[in-house]
Amino acid sequence: MPVNRNALIRYRTIDKCLQNRRRKWTIENLIDACNDALYEYEGIDKGVSLRTIRLDLNAMRSDKLGYNAPIIVTDKKYYSYENPDYSITNIPLTSQDLAVLQEVTHLLKQFKGFSHFDDMTEMVNKLEDKINSEQTQQPQVIDFEKNELLTGLKWLDLLYKNIITQTTVQLTYQSFKAREATDIVIFPYYLKEYRNRWFILGMKKKDKQIATLALDRILNIAQLPDELFRLNPKFSPQTYFKDIVGVTRNEADTPTHIIFIANHLQAPYIKTKPIHTSQLILEETKDGTTFSIDVIPNFELERELLGYGEGLKIISPSNLIRLFRRKSKLLYEVYHTTPS
């Protein structure tokens, strides 16, 4: 049963009145108290009706809102709580409420690196305390993929704010292949997570190309507020990631039509979790299922396809077949070379 803001104000006002046992409350007194509260909190000067307050009292008495308030009437006109310690703010949580709260608190604790969620720490702790006070501690039944050892998360909040404020930044960056770090001035546009790793996308000042940089390879970030921030009108996250798997892309490339066959063991996984949104089933036989995808080849696609091992075979194009033959040969040599 949805409850609007004004109704909640009335319920809380009535609740406070009925908790105050130092005076007797007629329905007219409750109407006046609700009118005062609505004016104070919402600026509403139109008085509530007698019928509205009677409906409110009935709603509070019922189980519709979960209150089951023990409201009694004495001398046929004075309203009060039969239990002097009762308040609608003290009603116990239902088992369903507790289950939802447990999962919400667990979900909130997944977000690390953003200062917005640091501000929620106290609220999460309060929720956990409320849950624990209502029931015995239960083990979690849901878990979200995360990497507690992942580095680079400390840059998330700063980069997010620089994107929002359109502030140019200088990254001290060292890729896995580089022998030493270099400074890169970029105009940050977009943050993306892929397989538990975060990346910043932005246009490099030097060559005006879109760069995809891993946060765990950033050594330092310097903000350059005096450096004019430049937008790239051709960059759109929706179109940039449309034709690729993962995060890396060569802007000069166009999608390649790739056909592969998966055996009867791997095909069900590929059907239920498509490698790309363009994936189609071309043929199904007793030997396996033939699929097609239209993507720009990149490192992430190679890893994805190679991950299926002997259960997946590339049918076309020929250049991708040659690439996989080379990698298969190298893998063969790794396992068939006699250790020195």
Provide the 8-state DSSP code for 247: S
Number of domains in the chain: 4
Non-local CB neighbours of 264 within 8 Å, separated by 6+ positions: 286, 287, 288, 289
> How would you write the pLDDT of the chain (340 residues) with one tens digit per residue?
345 788 889 999 999 999 998 899 999 999 999 999 998 888 888 889 999 999 999 999 988 777 889 999 999 999 999 998 888 887 665 666 656 666 666 666 555 555 555 555 555 555 555 555 555 545 555 555 666 566 788 898 899 899 999 999 999 999 988 899 999 999 999 999 888 889 999 999 999 999 999 999 999 999 999 999 999 988 898 889 999 999 988 766 789 999 999 999 999 999 999 999 999 999 999 889 999 999 999 999 999 999 999 999 999 999 999 999 999 999 888 888 766 5
Task: Beginning with the edge strand found earlier in the chain, give each strand of the sheet holding 218-224 in spatial order.
Answer: 210-214, 197-204, 182-194, 168-173, 218-224
Question: Does the residue 141 lie in any domain?
Answer: no
Does residue 9 form part of some domain? yes
Predicted local distance difference test score (pLDDT) of residue 1: 38
Residue 320 lies inside a defined structural domain of this protein = yes
Q: 135 and 98 in contact (C-beta within 8 Å)?
A: yes
Peptide bond into 317 cis (omega under 30): yes
Verify that 228 and 157 share a domain, yes or no.
Answer: yes
- The three state secondary structure string of 49-102 is CHHHHHHHHHHHHCCCCCCCCCEEEECCCEEEECCCCCCHHHCCCCHHHHHHHH
- Domain boundary at 216, 240, 264, which? 240
Cα separations (Å) of 130 from 42, 100, 127, 141?
Answer: 30, 13, 5, 19
> Nearest Cα to 249, choosing from 198, 303, 294, 212?
212
Any domain includes 147: no
Domain boundary among 205, 240, 275: 240
The conformation of residue 153, written as its DSSP 8-state character, comes to G
Is the Cα dihedral 266, 269, 272, 274 positive or negative? Answer: negative
pLDDT on residue 2: 46
Where does the chain have alpha helices with state H? 5-19, 27-42, 50-61, 95-108, 115-118, 121-134, 156-165, 237-240, 267-272, 299-306, 318-336
Instruction: Report the pLDDT value the prediction gives residue 276, as an integer from 0 to 100.
Output: 95
Residue 268 sits in which domain range?
A: 256-336
CB-hemisphere CA count at 13 Å for 119? 4
Q: For residue 193, what are the β-bridge partners?
A: 198
Q: Does any domain span residue 59?
A: yes
Of the three residues 65, 90, 115, the one that is the final residue of a domain is 90
Contacts for 217 with CB less than 8 Å, ≥ 6 apart: 152, 173, 174, 175, 176
Dist. CA 211–CA 201, nearest whole Å: 6
- Report if residue 245 sits inside a domain: no
Contact residues for 170 (Cβ-Cβ < 8 A; gap 6+): 183, 184, 185, 186, 221, 222, 224
Residues 297, 284 within the same domain: yes
Kindly state whether residues 309 and 281 are assigned to the same domain: yes
Q: For residues 263 and 329, state if they share a domain.
A: yes
Q: Is residue 145 part of a domain?
A: no
- CATH number of 215's domain: 2.30.30
The domain that holds 303 is classified in CATH as 3.30.70
